[in-house]
Structure 1
Amino acid sequence: MLATVGYFALAVFGLGALSLLTDADIIAVPGLGQMPGVIGMLASVVAFAAMLWSTLRRGKPSFLAAITISLTAALAHLIGVWVAVLAGVGNAVIATAVAGDLVRGGASAVLLLAAAVAAWGGIALRRTRAERPRWRWERDDEE
């Protein structure tokens, strides 16, 4: 759960920073509104969470799974945006152009990197069997 929230936070920050640095909208087609971006991020977060959950179910998950998780999250974003634009506009050419702009403009790379960092962190937490921090007096009975 923490890794999924971390992925969403890193993705939103990264996309905002990319938009600020390039001085351009992430989806710059007039009249589309915010729904394609919202649906794309929702699809990406759900795909990230599902892939990470299936990876963490194993006894000792591999860090290499972070690559697959990040590719799946980025691809789910593209598919979600493409489907949302196609449903909104009804034109496959515009939907494909929007998806292409996401790849060319760097938004997909930002999501790929954010997913890789968050997935690696989630796998690391599972492999180390990390627990919540406790005060010293809470550990007295264990010693």
Structure 2
Amino acid sequence: MDDGQPPTPPPPPGGPVRKPVALAFATVAFIALEIAGLGMASLLLDEDVVASSGLGPWPAIASTGLATIVFGAGLALALRPDPPSYWSAAWIALATALAYVGGAWFGCLFAGADLAVAGSVAGRIATSWFGVVVLAAAAVSAWGGIALTRTRARRPLWPWEDDEDR
């Protein structure tokens, strides 16, 4: 059926943001959302993320570090196809949350805790709002990183800007 209009050309592959840039932005966003979210959850719940005393900063360092590595690697793999699938964000979020729990467990062991304490800390994080915060931060950040590479949005223009400025 010919309506007299010329066929529209297919859109160019990829979005306006290159994949390495989107990966960097999303990873930084994940770290920021994770730290801010855990801080707010700790404040609202009036509980520490790691309730056991004497462990120092090692559980937090190990869990955040491992979760960030898994998030970045997962998003880098998810951004390889063209176009990347938004469903990848769910798998990245799940893997990142599990890495956070595993990192807390290893961090407790590194700090000198026994297996029971490490398991207790990791289990508490996995079954509390703290685990939900990490999962949500990873899901939002991964989805945003994928969206940066898929959308074809341009910067907003004021009515007085002309086409020569672009």
Tell me which residue corresponds to 2:83. 60
Write the deviation string for residues 59-95 of structure 1: whole angstroms up to 9, x where unpaired.
1111110000001111111111111111222511111
Counterpart contact for 2:75–2:142, Cα < 8 Å: yes
Counterpart contact for 2:58–2:110, Cα < 8 Å: no
Question: Structure 1 residue 39: deviation in Å?
Answer: 1.2
Q: Choose from 107, 120, 126 the match for 1:84.
A: 107
Give distance in 2, aligned partners of 1:121 and 1:141.
28
Give distance in 2, aligned partners of 1:110 and 1:134.
32
Structure 2: tracts of 5 or more residues without a match:
1-23
Q: Choose from 52, 58, 64 the match for 1:41.
A: 64
Q: With structure 1 as the length reference, what TM-score do the two structures score? A: 0.90
Give distance in 1, aligned partners of 2:109 and 2:33.
27
Tell me which residue corresponds to 1:71. 94
Question: Structure 1 residue 126: deviation in Å?
Answer: 0.9
Q: With structure 2 as the length reference, what TM-score do the two structures score? A: 0.78
- 1:121 matched to 2:163? The reply is no
- 1:12 matched to 2:26? The reply is no
Give distance in 2, aligned partners of 1:130 and 1:84.
42
Which residue type is aligned with residue 140 of structure 1? Answer: E
Structure with greater helix share of residues: 1
Write the deviation string for residues 10-60 of structure 1: whole angstroms up to 9, x where unpaired.
111110110000111110101001111111101101110110011111111
Structure 1: tracts of 5 or more residues without a match:
none
- The structure with more radius of gyration: 2
User: 1:24-39 counterparts in 2 under 5 A?
Assistant: 24-39=47-62
Structure 1 residues 130 and 76: CA distance shift in structure 2, 3 A: farther
Tell me which residue corresponds to 1:23. 46
Corresponding pairs, count: 140
Aligned-pair identity in percent equals 40
CA RMSD of aligned residues (A): 1.8
Give distance in 2, aligned partners of 1:38 and 1:118.
20
User: 1:103-118 counterparts in 2 under 5 A?
Assistant: 103-118=126-141
